[in-house]
Chains A and B, each alone.
Chain A
């Protein structure tokens, strides 16, 4: 039953779901009425607005059933790899093995938002000395100790070095609590010296080849650890196949992004696009299902674009959004204020780029890891953002800071300055806590003012 695209609330989704069922809706195993997740404690869902397509329903249900998949995997004897602070390299390797699944424990940072702080995760982190001066990813500590949201992984792999300081501190605290972590180091990406051999990386970055070789050596250690867990060796063909599967998902997501960001009328809301990007980097604990869910979403967007329909007014201000939000509802707020997403940089663009397939597969993954926007200087990140702003025709930029996240504090100003200098479009910085209700009037003022400025400039 096809309806005109629109954003609807949870109650409206329940009505629509029943109508769809009566009309013979065929659902995946993880399907069901969306409001059932509220009974599980996901109270934030009551305040969100959703896309009304079946593809979006499946997207949400896929996201909100990840815990079930993880506990089922444990029950069924599949080994679980927790890929921490890594968005695009370790999961690709882990999914080369049939008997392994990989997930992203850092994703627990959204639990306090989704459960509107009723989960107790921050309280546990507080009691461990990791208070609100740290990034909300500290909720992960609570998730590990309570074991309420995911089973303890059989292998925990975490990158450290030129990544988020907060996360490294939190992960070290976790390690100290008796959760063994396999650490690997990612160096700060730097420009090659005159006498150094340079290598071009995905995303337009350059680094000395020595750095690449170092990262490759680190990945070799990771492969060995995963092979031990799987009881199976990883050959190059397996790795190539794994990379191909990752690339297939990235390809779908990139087409989805391009179509959505460049369409005259926004075909898919910002919130669903954020979830889609997150799913594409860690697969929500099932790589094959992730592909199906994202492909369906792409089909829906294609259909809407070709029909010239969408979920927002055609004159919506085209906003480029930097950093993921701690409170999902703010993506709705952007659209309420007259904006739409036209470009994103959620700190993991390296995990959206296709992995090179014409070189040694482990070298290719090392290149991807070194192309992480977080491990290089902020100006390089800003330059890539500027290129994407031009590609998507964005009219303004919102830099959304994560409270307590150390990199946000230093990078935001650098990025804003470079965008203003190079592209001369308005840029604002906002800070979004996990539950933003009490500061929404202030957030709305900033976003509405940005939209007004964009429209006055046209």
Chain B
């Protein structure tokens, strides 16, 4: 039985085709999010099916998750990304106890029970502090792509202190720091440290190991290390970190 999971996030749409019998991922794709979310997701579905030579009627069930899940009208069911992340991580790393998920608009701490189900969770406030959006704004201000931003942070000698977690205020602070001649690498490192502090605080400051880091921000070089530095715990980046919620949706679709 083939199932599909679609994670319509705030920045990207992710799709996974899952073979329920073999318990394996057939394929996964990511595209940028846009205004016509439903159509974009449908195009993505067509694309991944064509690329894998699979007819649509061979897909037994589709589950949508993510911020835009209710706009995926061709999905049979919607499930939140919290539940889907847990299901996706359970597939990859059944021993995981904690998930830190930082996406474009949300950051989440998910505590798992011994069966890999959600036991408790916490999410960011409605502001963008501690999310990928925060990183994006700062990277744009420094005229860098996110990957280059992460690599730049690695060259930092002394992380700058970013005192405000409000994106707008932080942007003003960064302009001031640049004007004072603070190295861009130190600013990048300071921003990553600030996000890590915010996320660890959101988790109550006491994140249990093993910790799995997932979401698009997990792919930014140095971000996992920043969380490790703040939490004093080891953090493991999930395989296919951007796809875990879509995978979880596909696994739930198979149930």
- Least CB separation from B67: chain A residue: A441
Q: Is A428 a contact partner of B83 (Cβ separation < 8 A)?
A: no
- Least CB separation from B124: chain A residue: A442
Q: Is A452 a contact partner of B122 (Cβ separation < 8 A)?
A: no
User: Which positions 106-120 of chain B face chain A at CB distance < 8 Å?
Assistant: 106, 113, 117-120
- Least CB separation from B113: chain A residue: A457
Q: Which residues of chain B are near A417, meaning CB under 8 Å?
A: 204
Asked whether any CB of chain B lies closer than 8 Å to the CB of A123, the reply is no
- Also in contact, A445 and B80, with CB within 8 A (given A417-B204, A431-B125, A431-B126): yes
Q: Which residues of chain A are near B123, meaning CB under 8 Å?
A: 428, 445-446
Asked whether any CB of chain A lies closer than 8 Å to the CB of B82, the reply is yes
Asked whether any CB of chain A lies closer than 8 Å to the CB of B81, the reply is yes
Size class of the contact patch on chain A: 10 to 19
Centre residue among B70, B123, B204 by max chain A CB count within 10 A: B123
Q: Is A456 a contact partner of B118 (Cβ separation < 8 A)?
A: yes
Q: Give the shortest distance, in Å, between B88 (CB) and chain A (any CB).
A: 14
Q: Which residues of chain A are near B67, meaning CB under 8 Å?
A: 441-442, 445
Q: Is B81 a contact partner of A445 (Cβ separation < 8 A)?
A: yes
Asked whether any CB of chain A lies closer than 8 Å to the CB of B170, the reply is no
Q: Which residues of chain A are near B120, meaning CB under 8 Å?
A: 420, 426-427, 453
Q: Is B82 a contact partner of A452 (Cβ separation < 8 A)?
A: yes
Q: Which residues of chain B are near A429, meaning CB under 8 Å?
A: 122
A442 to B106 CA separation, bound complex (whole angstroms):
9
Asked whether any CB of chain A lies closer than 8 Å to the CB of B30, the reply is no
Q: Is B119 a contact partner of A426 (Cβ separation < 8 A)?
A: yes
- Also in contact, A449 and B83, with CB within 8 A (given A417-B204, A456-B117, A457-B117): yes
Q: Which residues of chain A are near B204, meaning CB under 8 Å?
A: 413, 417
Asked whether any CB of chain B lies closer than 8 Å to the CB of A391, the reply is no
Q: Which residues of chain B are near A395, meaning CB under 8 Å?
A: none
Residues 100-141 of B, flagged 1 when their CB comes within 8 A of A and 0 if not, give 000001100000010001111111011000000000000000
Q: Is B126 a contact partner of A428 (Cβ separation < 8 A)?
A: no
Q: Give the shortest distance, in Å, between B247 (CB) and chain A (any CB).
A: 17
Q: Which residues of chain A are near B117, meaning CB under 8 Å?
A: 453, 456-457
Q: Which residues of chain A are near B48, meaning CB under 8 Å?
A: none
Asked whether any CB of chain B lies closer than 8 Å to the CB of A347, the reply is no
Asked whether any CB of chain B lies closer than 8 Å to the CB of A1, the reply is no
User: B residues within 8 Å of A by Cβ?
Assistant: 67, 70, 79-83, 105-106, 113, 117-123, 125-126, 204
User: A residues within 8 Å of B by Cβ?
Assistant: 413, 417, 420, 426-429, 431, 439, 441-442, 445-446, 448-449, 452-453, 456-457
Which 4 A-B residue pairings sit nearest by Cβ, starting from the closest?
Answer: A449-B82, A449-B80, A453-B118, A452-B83
Given A426-B118, A441-B67, A453-B120, 11 additional A-B pairs, CB 8 A: A413-B204, A428-B122, A428-B123, A431-B125, A442-B105, A445-B81, A445-B123, A449-B82, A449-B83, A449-B118, A452-B118
